[in-house]
């Protein structure tokens, strides 16, 4: 893939927590870049730093040092209000625990990112996305009326609502049975391809990671391996 610049560029990234009695180094100098449209799986044992890394990439936390350039914009030193605006425009995020608002219907949950960024007339897009994840008959249902697999599919549709250039997912199949997990993975890959969105996914699931273009494995806060699975440029 020929591109002029990476969609994501990470250099010298560290995260240290001072507990008062000692310092805990969670990330110890992470460097990598991701080209537009690539599907990257981040793997590693519990405590390796992968969820911390994803939170930093999404602007949900602040690194101790280093630099994150997202779609040409250095997000490392941005204030919270500016950072929230960047997240709203450029990042879709899928949580393991769905994070749907219980008082909103499926349709209203999907519409929410569009409305928060000041958009109008998003109803057609929301319904199209819900249909694409097989929930056209469930648009007016509340989260409590949906199964776990259905809630995660609503969360996927919501993450794609504002056409984000990059989507990040933290163990998106972790709370699902194998059948629903496979369905959600298929939807992620399908939406990744149809929308042209770069996908960065944290997972323990090797079967899921096998579908990625690239697998980055963390160990003790460092990149232990960076394996390209296809002809996509790293």
Q: What does the pLDDT read at residue 216?
A: 98
**Spans of all domains in the chain:** 36-62+77-228
Tens-level pLDDT at each residue, the chain (234 residues): 444 579 999 999 999 998 778 889 999 999 999 999 999 999 999 889 999 999 999 999 999 999 999 999 999 988 888 988 898 889 999 988 899 999 999 999 999 998 887 777 899 999 999 998 999 999 999 999 999 999 999 999 999 998 899 999 999 888 888 888 888 888 888 878 888 899 999 998 888 899 999 999 999 999 999 999 865 444
Cβ-contact 225, 218 below 8 angstroms: no
pLDDT number for residue 38: 93
Q: What pLDDT, on the 0 to 100 scale, is given for residue 193? A: 84
- The SS3 assignment for 29 reads strand
- Residue 87: partners with Cβ closer than 8 Å, 6 or more residues away: 58, 59, 60, 93
Cα–Cα distance, 108 to 89 (Å, whole number)? 18
- The reported pLDDT for the residue numbered 17 is 92
Nearest to 26 by CA among 219, 170, 161: 219
d(CA 201, CA 93): 10
231: Cβ contacts below 8 Å, ≥ 6 apart? none
The answer for residues whose C-beta is within 8 angstroms of residue 181's C-beta and 6 or more apart is 173, 205, 208
With b meaning 16 or more CB within 10 Å and e meaning fewer, what string describes 8-36?
bbbeebbbeeeeeeeeeebbeebebebbb
Note the pLDDT of residue 131.
Answer: 93
Do 157 and 132 form a contact (C-beta atoms < 8 A)? yes
Q: What are phi and psi of 145, to 5 degrees?
A: -90, 0
Alpha-helical (H) ranges within the chain are 50-57, 80-90, 106-116, 123-132, 148-159, 178-195, 206-209
Question: What's the count of helices (H) and strands (E) in the chain, helices before strands?
Answer: 7, 10
What does the radius of gyration of the chain's CA atoms come to, in whole angstroms?
18
Q: Can you give the pTM of this predicted structure? A: 0.88
- What is the predicted pLDDT for the residue at 99? 93
What's the CATH class of domain 36-62+77-228?
alpha beta
């Amino acid at each position: 893939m020929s591109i002029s610049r990476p969609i994501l560029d990470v250099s010298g990234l560290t995260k240290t927590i001072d507990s008062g009695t000692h310092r805990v180094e969670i990330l110890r100098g992470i460097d990598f870049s991701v080209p537009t449209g690539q599907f990257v799986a981040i793997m590693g044992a519990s405590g390796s730093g992968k969820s911390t890394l994803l939170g930093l990439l999404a602007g949900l936390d602040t690194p101790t040092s280093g630099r994150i350039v997202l779609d040409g914009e250095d997000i490392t030193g941005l204030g919270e209000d500016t950072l929230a605006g960047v997240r709203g425009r450029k990042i879709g995020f899928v949580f393991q625990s769905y994070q749907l608002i219980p008082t909103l219907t499926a349709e209203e949950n999907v519409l929410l990112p569009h409305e928060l960024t000041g958009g109008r007339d998003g109803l057609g897009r929301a319904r199209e996305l819900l249909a694409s994840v097989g929930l056209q008959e469930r648009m007016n249902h509340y989260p409590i009326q949906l199964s776990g697999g259905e809630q995660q599919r609503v969360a996927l549709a919501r993450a794609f609502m504002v056409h984000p250039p990059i989507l990040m997912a933290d163990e998106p199949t972790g709370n699902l049975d194998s059948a629903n997990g496979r369905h959600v993975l298929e939807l992620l890959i399908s939406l990744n391809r149809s929308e042209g969105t770069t996908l960065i996914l944290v997972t323990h699931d090797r079967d899921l990671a096998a579908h990625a273009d690239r697998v980055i494995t963390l160990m003790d806060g460092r990149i232990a391996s960076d394996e390209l699975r296809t002809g996509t440029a790293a």
